[in-house]
Amino acid sequence: MSPARAALRKAIAWPARPALTGPMSPAPTGPRFVQCLSLALFGALMVLSACSKEQAPSVAPVGELEFIDARAGATPAPGLSSALYFRVRNLGAANERIESVRFAEAAATEMHSSGGHEHMQMMRPTDAIEIPAHGEVELKPGGDHIMLIDLQRALKDGETVQLELKLERGGAVMIPVRVTSSP
């Protein structure tokens, strides 16, 4: 057993230890037990509150694809641009390909691959996004994204918009996209 595991075991076993000192030991109700119990309760509360804060990501199934946590950055005014991200999982046995994207309220919608390093950040349009069979692709801040160029209106935090995708196999589909001020 590793020392850390041993220490953990000791810590877990601790409230029961007074029972080992004799057959007639009273139930562990002393101040130390109360201390430990309240610590444990506090810990459980912290875990619970952290869990309830964490919103489950949205999943939009489209044929054999699953779009997870599709989101776009909020914008303050018309005429600006925004980036859109998602994770997409291909549950099927055939490769899929996003051939084009369209957001009705943008002058143009483009798939961009993005990369570089801290000295130079670059972004270039790309023709398609390949999603291999049983594979997963992630568009994320600082990486590849879909750019909504010259939006006709401001995108408001909390609203849901629709993005149209043209898939090589699946045809034209719409996915819901959450607008957020911290994508």
If we measure between CA atoms, which residue out of 93, 75, 92 comes closest to residue 84? Answer: 75
Give yes or no for residue 35 binding other proteins (CB under 8 A): yes
Among positions 10-29, residues that touch other proteins (CB under 8 A) are 11, 14
Closer to other proteins by Cβ: residue 51 or 120: 120
Among positions 37-96, residues that touch other proteins (CB under 8 A) are 73-77, 79-83
> How far, in Å, CA of 55 to CA of 49, rounded?
12
Spatial CB neighbours of 60, under 8 Å, sequence gap ≥ 6:
66, 67, 68, 70, 175, 176
Q: Are 147 and 112 in contact (CB under 8 A)?
A: yes
The residue within the footprint of other proteins, chosen from 60, 62, 68, 123 (CB under 8 A), is 123
Give yes or no for residue 179 binding other proteins (CB under 8 A): no
CB of 91 to other proteins, least distance (A): 28
Give yes or no for residue 5 binding other proteins (CB under 8 A): no
The residue within the footprint of other proteins, chosen from 26, 55, 119, 158 (CB under 8 A), is 119
Strand partners, 82: 148
CB of 94 to other proteins, least distance (A): 28
Closer to other proteins by Cβ: residue 60 or 74: 74
Rg (CA), the chain: 26
CB of 110 to other proteins, least distance (A): 6
Give yes or no for residue 155 binding other proteins (CB under 8 A): no
Closer to other proteins by Cβ: residue 141 or 176: 141
Question: Which residues bind to other proteins, rule: CB under 8 A?
Answer: 11, 14, 32, 35, 73-77, 79-83, 107-108, 110, 112, 114, 116, 118-125, 141-142, 145, 147-150, 181-183
